[in-house]
Structure 1
């Protein structure tokens, strides 16, 4: 994939060649058209005038192409007009309509030429802006985030160039308490096995072959996937992938380096590049020598895979991880099994079981790979808007899924009249602030040998300098933190953070820390969250980390009708519980729009749009920051979303646009039209030209209202509907279980028997039915204390529903059903001309958003351009335009 700068240069050149040719064709067409209209003006007879226009139109190549158009079929019109020569039934009004059809088509071709020329000028403006070095005073715009970026760099330097020596004795004592001296014998023995496995892994390392061509290819693909490197180095790596000889030579060189691993040294200082991301935060990416990058990528990947394997085997070994089912005593479990049947005492589809499964599959050490994982290898797999933005959007989608789970859990607990505490936080500047002494202490404790610690120290204590001042300042040694975006950084970070995961589980008797990187959530009973927060506070202190106060918050949702007072316990964090542009509301127990954060977002959006140097750059900024960023930083539109919540999002969108586009009646479309008129003098621009996809000649401006309206039809009117049938089903199940138990009973008063003969097996068929439906277990030898007990009370039956109830688990699972979009169908008349996105993408169909846009403006576009395509095909490099529209947006800084 060529870099965006290269594509821009090519597009600039090609457009410069095509625009003069476009103007020649336009001039030729307009000359022929005006000549035809002048001849028609001199013809007084209506039928002859229409005939003249038909015959003359067929000589124009642009009109000739419309002969088979369903609405503008010139050949058909010729026969209709010929019929009028003799047939009086063809009225003067019909002839007038035919004439208007032809004139409209002639004007539509003119409009296509006009808007194709405008499109070319927009592309020219866009590409030209890349060659201009306009200062802030020249552009008239404030440099967005310039001061903020310098502040973030100053903060980074404060961390990475100032060592923080943590108390390694305290860390070892903390880890001993957690692992080696754990009250559980299973934890102690299994952890010893983990250490042995990690030591065996190191022993096998030098006996193994490492860099085969496939391994080199895999490392390169993972580097490309990470999105860390510059466009130029990305191009170089893609070039390597296409040359087997180069790959083979790299493999040989890497094996030589591996053989001399103990004398490894970095290849000079590392250049740090500062990049601004969609959320306004900066990231500082290392720009290293490519061969060194491949070498360290391999080592990091091997260690990360081994750590994931070892910690997974340890954590999920029998008796290691505590479970929420511990809420039930052994006697409570015996009673459930006795009264309810021979099956498992706890259903596998319970709320807690589902959460445990999701935590294990999607959350636990999710940053560590299970094995070699390669994505986005081919050019055509390049994600929309670039690697960094795609990764950011991917991470926000994962976070939204987690918010969905929290919301579903809150719905369930409120219906069960249970209060819930929720904590959210992360560690302040986790990567740059992570003390090296903490990293090495944890690694040694897990069994990493000293020769590897020495190599890791060399990597971490690299000499670094910043791209902006690489020539003017001497490199400095990193004394704290890890290099962002590398596999080794992930390995170091997850090794340390796993200790927090395990500590929370052990100290809270079964709770799970829902952590994605260093961003974590904890929810459940107030007492559980209190213990969990104490545990995290102790962990952060001993490891030398700080919580990020801006991202730290606590929310307590009281049960409906509860007399309980909101907890004001000092050991809970203060502040609202926020994420993106939403916050958790204690009164409703739902995520609502955080209007204070929206105000900040409006200011940033306004500045970014004003800093755009071209129309296309404005559109890119709006699509990414004004549309997608907003949607990705609000709640996931899921089956739990109510109509009222969706209306709140729509109202917020309207508020944003009314603030940013005050002078244009709160419409981004009207604002864009005015920009085009001011810069290029083009007025009367149809809305469809702005919003139509680029492959149809539109500018591709996105409308977030449509994305939300595609979902509004299937949202619930209120949360009162959720779990509506559950309580009825639960009572019905209880009565059925009780009836079965009492009918098959444990006593027979008339005969004095203590056990019904059927229960002892005289009636196997009935006994099998009893075991399936409920009733005490087949063997009564171990249940003597329960045989004369009456069936459990309803209160006991429904106790700890999140752990014990199958029906609740089924309802809970239903809250995660996929939220369906409204299916939009292309009307028959349009389907013929735009069945596929483009001729080059035959078989690739429009999505529902695109179909909504196309049909919303179809009549307007048909009337203006005589079809769905707004510009002349072939007169502009549409393919290059499409590529650049999907390239990374450069934030103004």
Structure 2
């Protein structure tokens, strides 16, 4: 099912050679072993027999590691046996146990050879099946495709090859109202600064140093991190990275192209490859000339970084954004400053402050890079988790944390007796559907000059053919939409969608649109959400976009003590609020498993697994789909996750296996054992061989229930406990603040020790109130001089912006759960391989697996390694595992 033909053929040849050599080694070992056992059987003295077995065993072919047993090292045994010559305390029973240890190790080596052969045969089966799939015999089935494949291509073509005209004058008037004619002078002035910055960026473009060896390498690495390229071109780019001469030659060509960019032309038609994603959608990836791709990668990254910084400087300038804290009146703020001191009136760390900080640093323009050659994981669910040296979290992880943030917010609001509305939507076929006129009008409004718009127009209006079309098919011109997975696509999309980010904030007096690409979330009070949805609708009409009805919906979570029937705002979208395999339940206010969606993917998982032509393909398909995809789409286990939800996750994975593996007692492991036995005739396979990491010679089959169990026991029975704790802290804080204020007001401290200095260096006295941050009850504060301390009701008003304690509990609701630490068996810690392989320590998941099957594996193989390194084509296998997995049709 997957991978580059050259790599497959190489792996096939290497595996065949190793299997042949392995057979010779095994035959030599078994012959020498049987000879040794025969000689030993002729020795009647137990001690001498053990001595013979120990002395001769290491001379056997391939037995250099016999002494590496976690309980009995051979060197130790030699000393014990020598001691037995004179020491009567060494009993016959002890000597028999030593003999059993050596014989077990001899048998363990036989098992290692047996499973090394099995592993090799599985790799051969894998590469052979990939050859067959790449052959002409399989082409007819692939070209026919599935019904939804053809349906989605038809829809894609209806968008891409048919222009949608939008009115540039209407768009400009819309943007004027937002920016140039905004009632706020700060917005108008800062927006002029934004345009000036973009103008200077273009004027200074030719003063920059463009391409050199490092820049070309950076462009290539960023392309390789995306999911755009086919495997053959990924391999070619990888080869470029290893050749400095090639990189410098490419840099020369790129600099020549940049110097003549005004006459830029595409290098022929763009070939589109249609690929199925695990979520059921087909994506349409451009397959371009590599040099052209590097050139446009650089331009796209440069513009994307500049746009993000320019929009940041504009948006986060003083008094440009409206803030939720504005709901606190000036008089209410004055009173808090007077009674609680100025610094604690609007504390950093409040819920509002945390949300604002996260929105600014994580959500705002998330698709645009913070720097050239930023390292970041892709969104696709088939990708591994974030790498250690990534500059920021992957889009998928950000989305998971956003869902958890909404869940935490709902828990708090419900206990604070407040209704909350949640809206979720995205745009229908956003990438392919964006009208080009809308893109160019927005870019021109922001100050992008005609020279660049002309180049961008050439990129967007590319001639297109399909990879699967008949030879000689006429290319058609793209008239709508952007090419997927490129920095320029992100640049175009984020420039457009920034406008709706800003519009929602302005029209709702401070609400934030939590947008990740075109995935839209809005939550808060009913009226604010109603205005926000009207703003989104207006934007989509002006820009020529449509909402995706399948992912558009709203949900009102009523307060715990509410007797209302729900919102009176009729403009809110109907439909469920969903993400991945989660659905927001209005009654409980919690995200629950969406079993209808799960069932659809159970059927698809079953189809994909049945289509696997080899055991390794089955393992890959299960790991990517049955484990990773299901795990990532059922959200993240965080502080707000209840034990009940964890049980629901475990039951879901149990149901997945029960449905797919009915004939194997609902067990993927039992099904895999049956596959191996049916295909290769090998039975009596230990479970550890299935689940152990491939670096230890296992098949690396993943168990998603372990991932859930690692964190499941640390969850709470009910998330309401967090709020119960908060209410106690809040009451305690109120009493403390009140007592302190009253004591401060009653005291006659007069002037404290000098705490400040005037311009001449003389000490200036400061009263006790002022020294503690409290305003003096004089001047502008005189009206509050005789006021009693604020009531508890006033103290707790607007908690989201005023309460540090609520912010602390909010943080706990958002926090990741610490994974359970596996306690290591003392004998296991001595086993070779336990500390990790290639200098990398084991993950908590891997430690769980190793520990769970350790006894069985130690008894069978004499250590953790199922197969010793060097006996298998491990390096090439790893390369093949990293290539793209092609899902069945």
Partners of 2:207 and 2:349 in 1: CA distance: 45
Q: Secondary structure at the match of 2:366?
A: coil
Contact 2:400 2:635 (8 Å CA) reproduced: yes
1:643 matches 2:639: no
Contact 1:340 1:773 (8 Å CA) reproduced: no
1:785 matches 2:783: yes
Partners of 2:86 and 2:732 in 1: CA distance: 83
Which among 826, 830, 841 is matched to residue 832 of structure 1?
830
Q: Secondary structure at the match of 2:780?
A: coil
Q: Secondary structure at the match of 2:166?
A: coil
Q: What displacement does 1:345 show? A: 3.2
Partners of 1:421 and 1:249 in 2: CA distance: 57
Q: What displacement does 1:58 show? A: 5.2
Partners of 1:241 and 1:774 in 2: CA distance: 60
1:248-301 CA-partner distances (Å, limit 9, x unpaired): 433333333333322222221111122222323222111212222222222222
Aligned 1:64-79 pairs, distance under 5 A? 65-67=65-67, 69-74=69-74
Residue aligning to 1:331:
331
Aligned 1:446-845 pairs, distance under 5 A? 446-469=446-469, 471-567=471-567, 569-745=569-745, 761=751, 769-771=768-770, 777-778=775-776, 780-835=778-833, 841=838, 843-845=839-841
Residue aligning to 1:866:
862
Select between 157-166 and 50-59 the one with higher mean Cα deviation.
Answer: 50-59
1:787–1:51 Cα change, 3 Å: closer
Residue aligning to 1:288:
288
Residue aligning to 1:423:
423
Partners of 1:383 and 1:139 in 2: CA distance: 27
1:322–1:14 Cα change, 3 Å: same
Contact 2:284 2:484 (8 Å CA) reproduced: yes
Contact 2:120 2:872 (8 Å CA) reproduced: yes
Q: What displacement does 1:863 show? A: 1.2
Contact 1:435 1:480 (8 Å CA) reproduced: yes
Contact 1:386 1:887 (8 Å CA) reproduced: no
1:257–1:763 Cα change, 3 Å: closer
Partners of 2:304 and 2:134 in 1: CA distance: 45
Contact 1:442 1:496 (8 Å CA) reproduced: yes
1:214–1:669 Cα change, 3 Å: closer
1:8-67 CA-partner distances (Å, limit 9, x unpaired): 222211111111111122222223333444555667776776666556645534456423
1:696-720 CA-partner distances (Å, limit 9, x unpaired): 1111111111111111232122212
Partners of 2:481 and 2:826 in 1: CA distance: 60
Q: Secondary structure at the match of 1:483?
A: coil
Residue aligning to 1:127:
127
Partners of 1:530 and 1:89 in 2: CA distance: 87
Contact 1:3 1:235 (8 Å CA) reproduced: no
Contact 2:438 2:543 (8 Å CA) reproduced: yes
Contact 1:740 1:770 (8 Å CA) reproduced: no
Contact 1:305 1:369 (8 Å CA) reproduced: yes
Gaps of 5+ in 1: 749-755
Partners of 1:768 and 1:263 in 2: CA distance: 73
Q: Secondary structure at the match of 2:782?
A: coil
1:400–1:391 Cα change, 3 Å: farther
Residue aligning to 2:885:
889
Aligned 1:141-160 pairs, distance under 5 A? 146-160=146-160
1:222–1:66 Cα change, 3 Å: closer
Residue aligning to 1:879:
875
1:90–1:551 Cα change, 3 Å: same
1:540-581 CA-partner distances (Å, limit 9, x unpaired): 111111111111121111111111222264311111111111
Residue aligning to 2:273:
273
Q: Secondary structure at the match of 2:713?
A: helix
1:629–1:784 Cα change, 3 Å: same
Contact 1:67 1:74 (8 Å CA) reproduced: yes
Q: What displacement does 1:230 show? A: 2.5
Select between 97-106 and 436-445 the one with higher mean Cα deviation.
Answer: 97-106
1:455-478 CA-partner distances (Å, limit 9, x unpaired): 221111110111111624100000
Please give the root-mean-square deviation of Cα atoms over the aligned residues, in Å. 3.2
Contact 1:342 1:771 (8 Å CA) reproduced: no
Residue aligning to 2:842:
846
Aligned 1:256-271 pairs, distance under 5 A? 256-271=256-271
Contact 1:688 1:698 (8 Å CA) reproduced: yes
1:613–1:141 Cα change, 3 Å: farther
Contact 2:582 2:635 (8 Å CA) reproduced: yes
Contact 1:66 1:72 (8 Å CA) reproduced: no
Select between 843-852 and 487-496 the one with higher mean Cα deviation.
Answer: 843-852
Q: What displacement does 1:335 show? A: 1.9
Q: Secondary structure at the match of 1:133?
A: helix
Select between 805-814 and 196-205 the one with higher mean Cα deviation.
Answer: 196-205
1:51-84 CA-partner distances (Å, limit 9, x unpaired): 6655664553445642353435456556766777
Contact 1:714 1:820 (8 Å CA) reproduced: yes
1:107–1:184 Cα change, 3 Å: same
Partners of 2:145 and 2:654 in 1: CA distance: 25
Partners of 2:650 and 2:633 in 1: CA distance: 14
Partners of 1:312 and 1:55 in 2: CA distance: 74
Contact 2:583 2:593 (8 Å CA) reproduced: yes
Q: What displacement does 1:512 show? A: 0.4
1:444 matches 2:440: no
1:305 matches 2:305: yes
Select between 800-809 and 732-741 the one with higher mean Cα deviation.
Answer: 732-741
Q: What displacement does 1:136 show? A: 12
Partners of 1:393 and 1:672 in 2: CA distance: 34
Q: What displacement does 1:883 show? A: 3.1
1:367-393 CA-partner distances (Å, limit 9, x unpaired): 12233134389xxxx975999xx9999
Q: What displacement does 1:352 show? A: 0.5
So what's the TM-score if we normalise by structure 2? Answer: 0.92
Residue aligning to 1:398:
398
1:654–1:768 Cα change, 3 Å: farther
Which among 851, 861, 869 is matched to residue 855 of structure 1?
851
1:469-500 CA-partner distances (Å, limit 9, x unpaired): 16241000000001111111111111110011
Partners of 2:676 and 2:236 in 1: CA distance: 39
Gaps of 5+ in 2: 756-764
1:540–1:89 Cα change, 3 Å: same
1:115-158 CA-partner distances (Å, limit 9, x unpaired): 11111110110111111138999999999973222222111111
Residue aligning to 2:232:
232
Aligned 1:107-122 pairs, distance under 5 A? 107-122=107-122
1:295-328 CA-partner distances (Å, limit 9, x unpaired): 2222222222222122111111111100001111
1:733–1:122 Cα change, 3 Å: same
Q: What displacement does 1:769 show? A: 4.5
Q: What displacement does 1:635 show? A: 1.7
So what's the TM-score if we normalise by structure 1? Answer: 0.91
Partners of 2:635 and 2:767 in 1: CA distance: 48
Residue aligning to 1:182:
182
Contact 2:308 2:365 (8 Å CA) reproduced: yes
1:136–1:529 Cα change, 3 Å: farther
Partners of 1:571 and 1:718 in 2: CA distance: 34
Residue aligning to 1:752:
none
Partners of 1:386 and 1:349 in 2: CA distance: 27
Partners of 1:444 and 1:286 in 2: CA distance: 26
